[in-house]
Amino acid sequence: MPSYAAPVKDMQFVLHDVLNITASDIPGYADLDAGFTAAVLEEAGKLASDVLAPLNAVGDREGCRLENGVVRTPSGFKDAFEKLKEGGWTALDCDPDYGGQGLPYVMGTAVGEIFVAANMALNMYQGLTHGAYSAIHAHGTEEQKATYLPKMVSCQWTGTMNLTEPHCGTDLGLMRTRAEPQADGSYRITGQKIFISAGEHDMAENIIHLVLAKAPGGGEGTKGISLFIVPKFLVNADGSLGQRNALSVGKIEEKMGIHGNATCVMNYDGATGWLLGDLHKGMRAMFTMMNEARIGVGVQGYAVAEAAYQNALAYAKDRLQGRDVTGVKNPEGPADPLIVHPDIRRNLMDQKSFVEGARAFTFWGASLIDRAHRNGDAGAEGLISLLTPVIKGFQTDKGFDVAVAAQQVYGGHGYIEEWGMSQFARDARIAMIYEGANGIQALDLVARKLAADGGKHVMAFFDLVKGFLKENEGDERLKAGFLDPLKGASKALQGAGMYFMQNGMKNPNAALSGSYDFMHLMGHVCLGLMWAKMAKAAHAALDAGAADRDFYEAKIATGRYYMARQLPACAMHLARIESGAEPVMALRAEAF
């Protein structure tokens, strides 16, 4: 069975050596000294290794069962969830006014990675609650916040998000769920929602559903959509639980993975709901939740990959098979360990260099969110809104690839469920689909985010890369291995942007046909930038006489691998983009 150990050392490196968080002017960051963050991450790591990870295979095997309208989660999930609540982990980065601990989002992200890597399905119950918390926090009335937030911060009550219907996924304008206003100010919600993660379960006293529905007078399409708070149990004025609301779970879906999470069909049969935020502006409120969820899914992408990689690495060191062609490495044994073989190393280095790069990218993204929220910095807000589809789309695609690659190291054993590597691949697969399938992320990036505010944010991103290159141009240790490849990759990305500008106006399909490639190209530039920054930080630590030279040298070697073996994908993506719409659109639909 797979095991998991939190990569605390690598997280500390990103937080302190690369992002240098204690020197930041973001409120709250000064308190995040290395001793404090290490203590938090190690404590989370213990819970992850000892409690959450051993339940990961249990959740996969048992799944969730629907019995007489009640959902039973897998053995041990309830106890483990209690431990998450008791430890205050669900409150980590929540508002102290509602019982939160008020730590920055970057810490919530790091701890989130640990819990997701150990048990993605279980962590989703709190992840969705956090998203619903954020939406109520941002858009709720004082009364709504007082009613719901404290219990959601503690996960005494959990939350969900209800968007999808059988006939409408991405295209929410087709929505049929209705909200009828009542005399008391509430609404009667009627309709069916599908794919509702954690829609029903036995681990919380109440479940607070956030439901998109159409209220009268809003017009066609997404304009008529509003967001409603629809609790499983109505809440009395004194905060105690009242009557059961008119909603029920229709069935649990049989899925490819994340079996430990109950994915429900939810039926709202005249359920009582309350408007959250402004009438007919539900999409805006829902996007508060969605943007956070997209970062969270981007974390899932590389967190599951990290868990898969750890196990593939252990297997490659342990399994004896064949001999090193350059000379026997394990003369006492019947064969050498797999890790001596170049193609196994290539595979492991692909995994390692992605996971570490993605971690740095995601933590940096989380720090931009902190800067946006805590400093009210519009530039940071714009930049993270540009990067969000990349964090979600690129990292979940590559994270799945890594899980599949890790499975491959095991040979035939990788295909046998008992070894647990199949689960990583099956679980990772969903992250490419939900919270906006990755094609939608690419569309969001190219059709909305590039052009937002007159292209200001993508310009800011390029300036950032250029600034880094300029600042370090004299550093011979970085030049060939890092700066030159980064410059080339960044140039390819600018070339792609230029192609869209020159061709997208007269033919939008010229841009949209290249959107997926652009998302990946930008992902590589982002990870390339991160690796260049990490190499710089590692050299600085070595220069300063850091004790653990092996760690920093490995960091530089891993970065050189990423630059040499992954960044060549940039030119390929550019070539595809510049081939334009014609090859993509040439066939009429009937001619397929």
- Measured from the CB atom, the residue of 229 and 283 that comes closer to a copy of itself is 283
| Sites for a copy of itself among residues 139-168 (CB under 8 A) | 164, 167-168
Beta bridge partners of 514: none
Question: How many Cα atoms are found within 13 Å in the side-chain-facing hemisphere of 170?
Answer: 9
Q: Tell me, what DSSP letter sits at residue 73? A: P
Residue 337 C-beta: closest distance to a copy of itself, Å: 7
Q: Tell me, what DSSP letter sits at residue 72? A: E
| Residue of the chain from 170, 182, 236, 502 that contacts a copy of itself (CB under 8 A) | 170
86, 205, 435, 553: the catalytic one is 435
Strand, coil or helix: what is 233? strand
Per-residue CA distances from 85 to 80, 88, 157, 158, 364 (Å): 9, 5, 11, 11, 27
Give the gyration radius of the chain's Cα atoms: 24
Residue 567 C-beta: closest distance to a copy of itself, Å: 9
> 95 phi and psi, to 5 degrees?
-65, 125
311 interacts with a copy of itself by CB under 8 A: no
From the CB of residue 527, how many other CB atoms can be counted at a distance below 10 Å? 28
| Residue of the chain from 58, 116, 512, 530 that contacts a copy of itself (CB under 8 A) | 512
- Measured from the CB atom, the residue of 36 and 415 that comes closer to a copy of itself is 415
435 is catalytic: yes
| Sites for a copy of itself among residues 476-495 (CB under 8 A) | none
Binding mask 213-252 for a copy of itself (x = CB under 8 A): ----------------------------------------
542 interacts with a copy of itself by CB under 8 A: no
Q: Tell me, what DSSP letter sits at residue 320? A: B
66 interacts with a copy of itself by CB under 8 A: no
Residue 344 C-beta: closest distance to a copy of itself, Å: 7
313 interacts with a copy of itself by CB under 8 A: yes
Residue 239 C-beta: closest distance to a copy of itself, Å: 35
- Measured from the CB atom, the residue of 206 and 558 that comes closer to a copy of itself is 558
- Measured from the CB atom, the residue of 279 and 571 that comes closer to a copy of itself is 571
- 443-446 CB contacts, 8 Å cutoff, 24+ apart: 443/512, 443/515, 444/389, 445/386, 445/389, 445/390, 445/393, 445/515, 445/518, 445/519, 445/522, 446/500, 446/511, 446/512, 446/514, 446/515, 446/518, 446/519
| Residue of the chain from 90, 109, 438, 472 that contacts a copy of itself (CB under 8 A) | 438
In which residue are the tokens 């940039």 written?
Answer: 570
Residue type, 226: S
* Number of residues near a copy of itself (by CB under 8 A): 94
| Residue of the chain from 169, 218, 379, 495 that contacts a copy of itself (CB under 8 A) | 169
Binding mask 390-409 for a copy of itself (x = CB under 8 A): ----------x---x--xx-
Binding mask 341-360 for a copy of itself (x = CB under 8 A): xxxxxxxxx--x--------
| Residue of the chain from 322, 466, 494, 500 that contacts a copy of itself (CB under 8 A) | 322
101 interacts with a copy of itself by CB under 8 A: no
Using left for φ > 0, alpha for ψ between -120 and 50, and beta otherwise, residue 548 falls in: beta
Contact 460, 379 (CB under 8 A): yes
Strand, coil or helix: what is 509? helix
561 interacts with a copy of itself by CB under 8 A: yes
325 interacts with a copy of itself by CB under 8 A: yes
Q: Compute the distance between CA of residue 362 and CA of residue 351 in angstroms, rounded to an integer.
A: 16
Q: Compute the distance between CA of residue 481 and CA of residue 225 in angstroms, rounded to an integer.
A: 51
- Measured from the CB atom, the residue of 148 and 424 that comes closer to a copy of itself is 424
Query: Which amino acids are annotated catalytic?
Result: 435
